[in-house]
Chain A
């Protein structure tokens, strides 16, 4: 039991982080808050992948003649590109939010839906 907790508490903290982001995405009405939640969710997933790569006693995955145990470089590569893609998705989401604000004058999801039903200001 103690061994399980000591071996896996990291993963549970990552999952808790992910769930904080998830809750912000589903429960918050403000669209910028949703983007912030998405950002937290994404970084939590990256953290999970990077932690899979870690080996006890391993060194950073750069060749070094004294060391023969390296951390796994594959998740690092995937997450490296993932971070740059995540900033692109954030940017597109923000652009859509700016357009929504221009069209409806609000960035609250429920108010936008009400305005949409009433015919809205539209464009």
Chain B
């Protein structure tokens, strides 16, 4: 797949901007449209674009499937951990205002960021895993 020079060059330029945009969407989920699900979908799409432009072999070298296996469960774990931390701090499961921080507003914001990051990691990892597993040609 070495002849796709135009596709490869354009993807090389575009991918960092797509990923930066995904992180922007993640960070601004509280103020405008956006959040963990959308950011994860966009970030996953950027990696899918890389695989489409550069081929599965070079993508496999760069993105180890073991890492994504780990991230798949890590996202759910972060989400649940935030909930349990709220319980340890004395509130109900996922009651962010009980987190031991100076103001309730800050506690709520931190809690929401925590679960959004969890959702983001899981969605990204699952979409990339789904694409890798579906697109991989086996030799048999």
Contact = CB atoms under 8 A, between A and B. Distances in A.
Contact of B134 (A60, A81, A98): A98
Contacts of A98: 134
A94 B133 CA distance: 11
Contacts of B33: 60, 62
A84 B35 CA distance: 13
Contact of A84 (B32, B37, B133, B134): B37
Interface in A53-95: 60, 62, 80-81, 83-84, 87-88, 91, 94-95
20 contacts: A60-B33, A62-B31, A62-B32, A62-B33, A80-B35, A80-B37, A81-B37, A83-B37, A84-B37, A84-B41, A84-B123, A87-B127, A88-B126, A88-B130, A91-B130, A91-B134, A94-B134, A95-B133, A95-B134, A98-B134
Contacts of B37: 80-81, 83-84
Contacts of A80: 35, 37
Interface of B: 31-33, 35, 37, 41, 123, 126-127, 130, 133-134
Given A84-B41, A98-B134, 13 more contacts: A60-B33, A62-B31, A80-B35, A83-B37, A84-B37, A87-B127, A88-B126, A88-B130, A91-B130, A91-B134, A94-B134, A95-B133, A95-B134
A82 B123 CA distance: 13
Nearest to A81: B37
A62 B123 CA distance: 24
Nearest to B127: A87
Closest 3 CB pairs of A and B: A91-B130, A84-B37, A80-B37
Nearest to A90: B130
Contacts of A84: 37, 41, 123
A50 B130 CA distance: 28
